[in-house]
Amino acid sequence: MRFFLALYTLFLLIGCYESERNCADFKTGTFEFEALSGTEVFKTTIVRNDSIEIDYFQGKKDSSSIHWINDCEYVLKKINPKNQAEKKAIHIKILTTDKDSYTFEFSEVGKTKKSRATAKKSI
The model's pLDDT over 66-96, given as tens digits with 9 standing for 90+, comes to 999 999 999 999 999 999 988 999 999 999 9
The answer to whether position 77 is within a domain reads yes
SS3 26: helix
Domain hosting residue 61, numbered range: 20-121
90, part of any domain: yes
Domain count, the chain: 1
**Count of alpha carbons within 13 angstroms of residue 102, beta-carbon side:** 26
Q: Is residue 13 part of a domain?
A: no
Is residue 47 domain-resident? yes
Residue 116 maps to a domain: yes
* pLDDT bracket for residue 19 (50, 70, 90): low
Stretch 99-122: mean pLDDT: 92
Q: Is the pLDDT of residue 27 over 70?
A: yes
The mean pLDDT of 21-44, rounded to a whole number, is 87
In sequence order, what E strands does 28-80 have? 29-37, 40-48, 52-57, 60-70, 73-78
Helix, strand or coil for residue 110?
Answer: coil
The CATH number for 114's domain is 2.40.128.490
